[in-house]
Amino acid sequence: MDKFKDECGVFGIFGHPEAANMTYLGLYALQHRGQESAGIAASDGERVRVSRAMGYVADAFDGEALAQLPGTIAIGHDRYSTAGDSKLANAQPILIDCAHGQIAICHNGNLVNARELRDDLVRQGSIFQSSSDTEVILHLYARSRAANVEDAIVESVSQVQGAFSLVMLTRDRLIAVRDPHGFRPLAVGRLGDATVVCSETCAMDLIGATYVRDVEPGEVLVVSADGMRSLKPFPPAPLAHCIFEHVYFARPDSYVFGQSVNEVRTNLGRILAREQAVDADVVVPVPDSGVCAAMGFAEASGVPLRMGLIRNHYVGRTFIQPQSAIRHFGVKVKLNPVRSILEGRRVVLVDDSIVRGTTSRKIVKMVRAAGAKEVHVRISCPPTISPCFYGVDTPRRADLIAATHTLEEITKYLAADSVAYLSLEGLLSAVGAERQSYCSSCYTGVYPVAFPRDEASYLQLALKLDTEAVTRS
């Protein structure tokens, strides 16, 4: 589907006899945050072991693989990557052994100065195993002359800029770090005597853990046999929680940044209905991403909600498009219209976002072909006009339809009767009093953390480092 892609989900647990099994389940709940590769590292107090594989976590691990990861501390990672750098070397956790001992790391986010740091490190003799920006942190850590592990972590993380929610594992401790802006979520919970950290609270629900609080922006949380210690080594910075987590990325059953995703997302739909009302017979969500907003839209508008599009949940990476008679399946593989709901009706089609517009165009066509009399597209966020530099895979500005086309042109391209977006004010009001804490750069083009290069080379070189490796060698 034509969506922004999140980069990763992270999970960590300390003090549980089945740490690797719990991590497996946590990654399972966070699978929506990354499907390219999955990995788990575990420590039995003597040694850290890691296992990583391409694909979904359920395919990457079986009982035998988990049995090879004994210990009471574990971390795990679901990774999304672009096609070019989808390879096992970039899967996480990344494990190294250095003067400070073994350390494994998982990262959700994107480091805006990774390229500069990497170039410096390579000049000084570092040899990188992967093209991931995360490895930069490990090289800085390995080179640190700090007296202990915690100081070395603080020293290395202090040098990186951008978005990072990190979970790290040493022989005897779990460390969670969140960048001072708090771009990506990271929550802390309890499971009996064990401590859990994870990208979204839905991972806690699955294993029966209880949410306690978020890792605070700029906090380094160290969990060891001595308990939990909180360090605040970074200078404070303006908060910049990613508002797109509420719009699309996070699961609606999660709490992120201390707020219910379901409540915020439904609110987006309510506000959208008030801002962009239209005479219609039925509200139809584009599943699954448009469902919460469509419910809010239906509630606020009084127009009934019906599931006029049904999603096939079993379409995965392994789908092979037949070469024979039926070609160009496109979106039809994933969605099928319900004619009895759509035929002869004026339809409000609610989705969370439009990126390139290619999928939306096919969906409008599909709804019309099923007999809809009118199709009015309503989008529960403002026009996406700028790429993200903070851990989300986005196309270049030139490929974002809202950056290059007027609303009239978009309406014509989608072949819709009308297209309307939520306003920026509407988006921010959906998160309530916390509105000042959010990043909304992909809607404004105003970025809270500067990135050092022009957009084209940044997107190519920093987010897609494999391309860089090829072109520079």
392 binds ligand SF4 (CB under 6 A): yes
108 binds ligand SF4 (CB under 6 A): no
242 binds ligand SF4 (CB under 6 A): yes
Residues numbered 171-190 forming contacts with ligand SF4, rule: CB under 6 A: 183
Q: How many helices (H) and strands (E) does the chain have?
A: 18, 25
347 binds ligand SF4 (CB under 6 A): no
Round to whole Å and give the CA distance between 18 and 41. Answer: 13
Tell me if residue 8 is catalytic: yes
244 binds ligand SF4 (CB under 6 A): yes
Output the smallest distance, CB 443 to ligand SF4, in A.
Answer: 7
Output the smallest distance, CB 381 to ligand SF4, in A.
Answer: 9
Give the list of residues 6+ apart from residue 346 with CB closer than 8 angstroms, or none: 279, 280, 281, 282, 372, 373, 374, 376
Checking 98-102 for CB contacts under 8 A at 24+ apart, the result is 98/138, 98/141, 98/142, 99/142, 100/141, 100/142, 100/144, 100/148, 100/149, 100/152, 100/170, 101/149, 101/170, 101/171, 102/43, 102/47, 102/48, 102/170, 102/171
354 binds ligand SF4 (CB under 6 A): no
Are the CB atoms for 77 and 106 separated by under 8 Å? yes
Kindly list the distances between the CA atom of residue 405 and the CA atoms of 26, 359, 412, 416, in Å, as whole numbers in the listed order. 41, 16, 10, 15
Task: State which residue, 39 or 391, has the beta carbon closest to ligand SF4.
Answer: 391
Task: State which residue, 74 or 422, has the beta carbon closest to ligand SF4.
Answer: 422
3-state class (DSSP) for residue 122? helix
439 binds ligand SF4 (CB under 6 A): yes
Task: State which residue, 20 or 427, has the beta carbon closest to ligand SF4.
Answer: 427
21 binds ligand SF4 (CB under 6 A): no
Phi and psi angles of residue 57, each rounded to the nearest 5 degrees, phi first:
-60, -35
Output the smallest distance, CB 3 to ligand SF4, in A.
Answer: 11
Q: Which stretch binds ligand SF4 (CB under 6 A): 45-53, 149-157, 238-246, 327-335?
A: 238-246
One residue of 169, 243, 367, 375 binding ligand SF4 per CB under 6 A: 243
Cis peptide bond upstream of 288, omega within 30: yes
Give me the count of residues in the chain.
473
Are the CB atoms for 303 and 280 separated by under 8 Å? yes
Output the smallest distance, CB 441 to ligand SF4, in A.
Answer: 4
Task: State which residue, 255 or 390, has the beta carbon closest to ligand SF4.
Answer: 390
Number of chain positions touching ligand SF4 (CB under 6 A): 11
Which tokens belong to 156? 């290395």
Round to whole Å and give the CA distance between 135 and 138. Answer: 5
Q: Which stretch binds ligand SF4 (CB under 6 A): 190-198, 397-405, 414-422, 437-445?
A: 437-445
Output the smallest distance, CB 156 to ligand SF4, in A.
Answer: 23
The footprint of ligand SF4 (CB under 6 A) covers: 183, 242-244, 388, 390, 392, 439-442
- Residues designated as active site: 8
